[in-house]
Structure 1
Amino acid sequence: MSPSTAVVWFRRDLRVADQPTFLAAADAADRALALFVLDPHLLGPAGAARKTFLHGCLRELDSALDGRLLVVRGDPVDVVPRVATAVGARTVHVAADFGPYGSRRDENVATGLAATGAELIRTGSPYAVAPGRVEKGEGGPFRVFTPFSRAWADHGWRAPAGTSASTCSWIDPSTKDGGPRAVPIPDDEEVEAELPEAGEKAALRRWKDFLDEGVMEYGSNRDMPAKLGTSGMSPYLKYGCIHPRTVLADIARRHCDSTKDSTKDSTKAYRTEIAWREFYADVLYRRPDSARENYDTAFDHLPLRTGDDAYADLDRWKQGRTGFPIVDAGMRQLRAEAWMHNRLRMVVASFLVKDLHLPWWWGARHFMELLVDGDLASNQHGWQWTAGSGTDASPYFRIFNPITQGERFDPGGDYVRRWVPELAGVPGKAVHQPWKLRDGIPQGYPEPMVDHRTERQEALDRYDAVKRARRP
């Protein structure tokens, strides 16, 4: 009797450790084919940074599998059933996708496989707790983060799966007859940003460094962009080079082993950040329209600027030429590193929607084009939080002052001086208000494009339309 074959279709799980799909495939068949599909529906909107990082992750995964990763290009609805038929696979194993496009795609792939007598088997997901699992006691989704996070923690999650590249017996894709043609992993695209090292090994190294040192001061340093206070794990979580289950298990051990209150507070804070990621995934799963539209439909009535002047202001914001140093530093970091500190993401978003009165989705689109860690659920709902239109949103009257935000979170001005070289010679916190310098604004740096106090009041006036829309 010839050996049976399964297909393991990788998506946002580009690793060999903690892989429940490997266990399911090994249980279902004698051997497995490793598959990745270059899907134009996903690659088309992705920026160069995300595609380049993805290609690096694929190269490392292929190496971990001894060159046995089959890469094909095309619509998965077409190519996945063809691959399964070509190798005689009766099962195709995936981690469940809960995104708007991914869930539709998987249903269509499952239908195509069923027509050939094969089955799509979903095992696990990119999340510690799959979207849709956490609900209120009386049923229904949470709209507010804090009660969600409590219920999420009470629900709990499985321990990391003990897997490696040797969990499955991988077949050489070159022995496959028929089916879609294999393609090489694409070359890197031109990216002006300096990207983090891609792949599972880099993820595990970075995570170990953070556990050994960074986590102890995470609670106090995570909001300070001039310090290396964050873990830097978001690109790796985006592509599944490490699973949040692994992260949460390590954080729990670090919490239990520590005798310092500051470290315990830091581990709690880090787990909360993972919970935010899972909350936004749950929100998007239940309201897929919120990826493009206001979660709170009362904000459909908010007057927004459009037209040539609005697009000109958008461009100045994108280029980091607003005249507000902390905003410009954040936008320039985004271009230079394809990443931005989370505190700055909130600051620059507030400036766009509440000082410039531009649509949040304009900014969200720009972030998704440039961010190496661009995640639809976290990005779109983070923007809606700042705009006030999302679930658990920032109150509409909370309008970040870009000057006081800079002085509070970059008190020495080191972050601004790093990213805004025109202000490199301005000492201390004076860098946050260069228009007050005795000699005037340094050459090459622009005047503030708006008066914050005036635009704050303008934003509050515009929000009256939202309040009117909510009245019975």
Structure 2
Amino acid sequence: MKPILLWLRRDLRLADNPALAHALRTGQPVIPVYIHAPEEEAPWSPGAASRWWLHHSLAAFSRALEAAGSRLILRRGASLETLLRLVDETGAGQVLWNRVYEPALIERDRRIKAALKDRGLAAESFNSALLFEPWTVSNKSGEPYRVFTPFWKACCATGLPDDVETTPESITAPTCWPDGDHLEFFDLLPRIPWDQGMAACWQPGEDGAHRALEHFLAGAVLTYKTDRDLPGQPGTSRMSPHLHFGEIGPRQLIRACRRLQAQGAGAAAGASLEAFMREIGWREFAFHLLFHFPHTPEQPLDERFADFPWRDARDYAADLEAWRRGRTGIPLVDAGMRELWHTGWMHNRVRMIVASLLVKNLRIPWQTGARWFWDTLVDADLASNTLGWQWTAGCGADAAPYFRVFNPVLQGERFDGRGEYIRRWVPELKPLPDRYLQAPWTAPAGLVPREYPRPRVDLGESRKAALAAWEQLKGASRSEASGTP
């Protein structure tokens, strides 16, 4: 029998893997292959933190395949040429894969599928990453959604899928394996050892994903609706990097939530489960937007913001560097940026706050912040990263009817009132009394350590400047629409 090439990308799991399940149902030998071609993802090739995760995820998946009687063939090179070489080497008759949804990769995969079929090969793709394919959800006019709530209502009305493929105990191997590269050849790990914090926080791989899910379901999910906004508490699922690399799928999460609901978890826990599933919905919405508006990683969805009066790059270089290093003098912002650098992750509420300071108070383009997140987040996901930054900047989908400017002091008082989060990541402020912790510049002289910087920006004055810039932009848009010179 001719073997099947299983082309793996961001679907590094055995459980609920539709392409793998389809291959196994044929009864033919399966050759799992991962092709490292980061240049094909340009201009959004994986950042440093993502590469670190990918290395360990591939290693974990390789071990899982070996336990199932198979192996992972690693290759470096252009995807189409590498697949065709593997077809020639193995005599494979078909190539299967699970879909990805980034604009550059959609176009690449279309070309590859056409080229394989031209060679007389069977080529088929499957959905492993989403509850709903982006092209299957539309409003009553047949147009894509731009607002989350009606989008999610439409998804829920259809019914959230929770059917999952079973985990194979064994995978039929070919009689002869092709050669593969060593994982170290991909050069994914940092040459300077800055990754100790990430290694201490995460366990990449399918086993790590399920352990994280079990830990979440055993505790934090029951109070998720309230605690998910508290950065000092372990109130979130931390499933995002596992989802991004396909170590677990959204259908598995929905299924786990439904099982808890069926057990009668109680009203409060039931509301928290619904809130968690709604967050899975936001991830779906992000992919919906990226698919229908593929220009948005670089350009605002709201075209008016193309003319927003950002500061000149030559003027904000020092402010940008202070923001990146967690040295803005705004404790909650600095805590978030230091958490990001140390762990490759940041609490979601804090992501909005640090982004707001950058784009609203410092008036640095949101694309600059998105690029930094892209390089430093282990869950760097083009769809979610784009949605988050455009939402905070006010230029994307689901934007508020007003120009939202987060006040990090008020946000800290509300969501980190006792300062657990700030004291964890900005240890030089540990001795500061709670009343001054969110705004140390208001403390009496001598209380704040000298090594902690003064604020890079006046929050009140910069808020006024941001609102004035917004009014200027709205005025220009109204004049253009009316034809006023």
Worse overlay, 36-45 or 295-304: 36-45
What residue in structure 2 maps to residue 63 of structure 1? 63
Find the aligned partners of 1:346 and 1:167 in 2 and give their Cα distance: 44
What residue in structure 2 maps to residue 22 of structure 1? 20
What residue in structure 2 maps to residue 465 of structure 1? 472
SS in 1 for 2:234: coil
What residue in structure 2 maps to residue 99 of structure 1? 102
**Is 1:311 aligned with 2:314?**
no
**Is 1:139 aligned with 2:142?**
yes
Q: Give the direction of change, closer, same or farther, for the CA distance of 1:300–1:4 in structure 2 (3 Å limit).
A: same
Q: 2:194 aligns with which of 192, 205, 217?
A: 192
- Match runs of 1:3-402 below 5 Å: 3-28=1-26, 30-41=28-39, 42=41, 45-66=45-66, 68-166=71-169, 168-171=171-174, 175-176=177-178, 182-186=180-184, 188-189=189-190, 190=192, 192-193=194-195, 194-195=197-198, 196-402=202-408
Q: 1:445 aligns with which of 436, 439, 452?
A: 452
SS in 2 for 1:291: coil
What residue in structure 2 maps to residue 428 of structure 1? 434
Q: Give the direction of change, closer, same or farther, for the CA distance of 1:191–1:407 in structure 2 (3 Å limit).
A: farther
Which residue identity lines up with residue 452 of structure 1 in the other structure?
L
Worse overlay, 156-165 or 144-153: 156-165
SS in 1 for 2:134: coil
Worse overlay, 444-453 or 362-371: 444-453
Q: Give the direction of change, closer, same or farther, for the CA distance of 1:4–1:166 in structure 2 (3 Å limit).
A: farther
SS in 2 for 1:132: helix
Output one character per residue of 1:1-59: Cα deviation in whole Å (capped at 9) or x when no partner.
xx121111111110000111122212345111101011132498322221111111111
Which residue identity lines up with residue 107 of structure 1 in the other structure?
R
State the shift of 1:418 in Å.
0.8
Find the aligned partners of 1:184 and 1:165 in 2 and give their Cα distance: 25
Q: Give the direction of change, closer, same or farther, for the CA distance of 1:32–1:464 in structure 2 (3 Å limit).
A: same
Which residue identity lines up with residue 56 of structure 2 in the other structure?
G
SS in 1 for 2:237: coil
Over aligned residue pairs, what C-alpha RMSD do you find? 1.7
Find the aligned partners of 1:158 and 1:355 in 2 and give their Cα distance: 42
SS in 1 for 2:450: coil
State the shift of 1:259 in Å.
4.3
Q: 1:455 aligns with which of 440, 458, 462?
A: 462
Worse overlay, 346-355 or 446-455: 446-455
Moved over 6 A (4+): none
Q: Is the 8 A contact 1:95 1:125 kept in 2?
A: yes
List alignment gaps of at least 5 residues for structure 2: none
State the shift of 1:175 in Å.
2.9
Find the aligned partners of 1:167 and 1:467 in 2 and give their Cα distance: 61
Find the aligned partners of 1:465 and 1:322 in 2 and give their Cα distance: 27
Output one character per residue of 1:301-353: Cα deviation in whole Å (capped at 9) or x when no partner.
21001232212211111111111100111011110101000000000000000
Q: Give the direction of change, closer, same or farther, for the CA distance of 1:266–1:442 in structure 2 (3 Å limit).
A: same
Find the aligned partners of 1:310 and 1:285 in 2 and give their Cα distance: 33
State the shift of 1:191 in Å.
5.1
Q: Give the direction of change, closer, same or farther, for the CA distance of 1:374–1:171 in structure 2 (3 Å limit).
A: same
Find the aligned partners of 2:122 and 2:297 in 1 and give their Cα distance: 30
Which residue identity lines up with residue 442 of structure 1 in the other structure?
P
SS in 1 for 2:16: coil
SS in 1 for 2:32: strand
Find the aligned partners of 1:171 and 1:55 in 2 and give their Cα distance: 25
- Normalized against structure 2, the TM-score is what? 0.92
Count of residue pairs the alignment pairs up: 465
State the shift of 1:69 in Å.
0.6
SS in 2 for 1:220: helix
Which residue identity lines up with residue 302 of structure 2 in the other structure?
D
Q: Is the 8 A contact 2:99 2:126 kept in 1?
A: yes
Find the aligned partners of 2:55 and 2:472 in 1 and give their Cα distance: 46
Which residue identity lines up with residue 159 of structure 2 in the other structure?
G
Find the aligned partners of 1:10 and 1:250 in 2 and give their Cα distance: 25
